[in-house]
Amino acid sequence: MRPACAEPSYSSAGSRTRCSSSCVSNGGTRTTETIRLAESEPLDLDATLGCGQAFRWRRDGGRWEGVVDGRCIRLSQRGGLLHYSGSDEPFVRHYLALDLDLDRLLAAIDRDPVIEAAIDRSRGLRVLRQPLFECLLSFLCATNTNIPAVQSRVEAIAGVWGEPAVGDENVRAFPSSTALRHATEDDFRACRLGYRAPYARSAVTAICSDPSWEGELSAVPHDEARARLMALPGIGPKAADCILLYALGHLDAFPIDVWIRRILARHYLPDLDTGTLSPSRYEAARSFGRDRFGAHAGYAQVYLFNARDLLCRD
DNA sequence: GATTGACCTCG
DNA sequence: GAGGTCAAT
């Protein structure tokens, strides 16, 4: 059994969502509400939405706009005030994991000067609780590429198959696996997935062929979920670990990307510096991370990644 | 098991 | 070259 991360316990405010939807159709007079963050609820919204864990957030001045679970959401932060529109407080709190005792968590992973520097760099950064299927397809699109390209692919997929988002008809929700059931390889190529198009096609087929696939993935233990993810074409260990961390609530997942590899090589595992990252070397790096940082190693990974310039410069 | 090369697309 | 993965040695 997992702690409740994947399954919503927040879906209570349908009526308010509808209201904000009707408010915005006349050009943006949607209501903005405010969450007053407690001392014990540190949040760095810019780091959280800008660190590359999710691909549908854009910063517009001091304000972030994104689409989550079919809703167009706007967020901005001034100190201890978190302003939001397009959603309701329980959803925002859940998505941003504000219920998590971050100070305690960071104290638990703060085990050496390197991670300490990374924590000092972006205290308040939180791991989002993302919708599973969108996260899965996003990281399938994210191999051997850069963030702007991933964003463009994800936007394109939403543009073709997504329903209009609640709160802004001009924006599209990310489609469900079912909505993509008939998407062809060429369709995905048209969304600039390139050689990933057949992977996306097959992954969607596999997921659709078993209606309980997504639900079971959320219920199954870490290792089992990882194996099921990696059974999908185009999902290797790195993408699987990202999905485990960002969508399935396995906070001990520790994805090894090129930056984490550099950081580990420089500060922890000199042997990791050279050569190709074979599956067994990947596993070694991953278990090092989990051993060193413990049950919340994924948070350590995100903080290290976000301090990559600091930790990798000469 | 480890290593190598190919691969769409974009800034 | 980029926040990898796959198939073939």
Chain B: positions less than 7 Å from a protein CB are: 1-4, 7-11
Question: For residue A255, which nucleotide's C1' is closest to its Cα?
Answer: C3
Protein residue nearest nucleotide C3, by CA to C1': A257
pLDDT at residue number A27: 46
pLDDT band of A313, cuts 50, 70, 90: confident
A86 and A223 in a single domain? The answer is no
For strand C, is any atom closer than 7 Å to the CB of A149? Answer: yes
Instruction: Tell which residue, A180, A122, A127, has the closest CA to residue A156.
Output: A180
CATH number at residue A39: 3.30.310
Q: How many domains does chain A have?
A: 2
CATH number at residue A200: 1.10.340.30
**Residue A81, domain extent:** 1-99
For strand B, is any atom closer than 7 Å to the CB of A9? Answer: no
A136 and A204 in a single domain? The answer is yes
A185 and A36 in a single domain? The answer is no
For strand B, is any atom closer than 7 Å to the CB of A278? Answer: yes
A283 and A168 in a single domain? The answer is yes
Over residues A175-223, the pLDDT tens digits come to 999 999 999 999 999 999 999 999 999 999 999 999 999 999 999 999 9
CB of A190 closer than 8 Å to CB of A155: no
pLDDT band of A300, cuts 50, 70, 90: very high
| Interatomic separation, CA of residue A1 and C1' of nucleotide C1, rounded (Å) | 42
A169 and A287 in a single domain? The answer is yes
What torsion do the CA atoms of A266, A269, A271, A274 make, to the nearest 10 degrees?
Answer: -40
Protein residue nearest nucleotide C6, by CA to C1': A234
A5 and A56 in a single domain? The answer is yes
In a domain, A117, yes or no: no
Over residues A7-35, the pLDDT tens digits come to 344 443 333 333 333 344 444 568 999 99
Over residues A48-96, the pLDDT tens digits come to 999 999 999 999 989 999 999 999 999 999 999 999 999 999 999 999 9
pLDDT at residue number A40: 93
| Cα distance between residue A226 and residue A145, in whole Å | 22
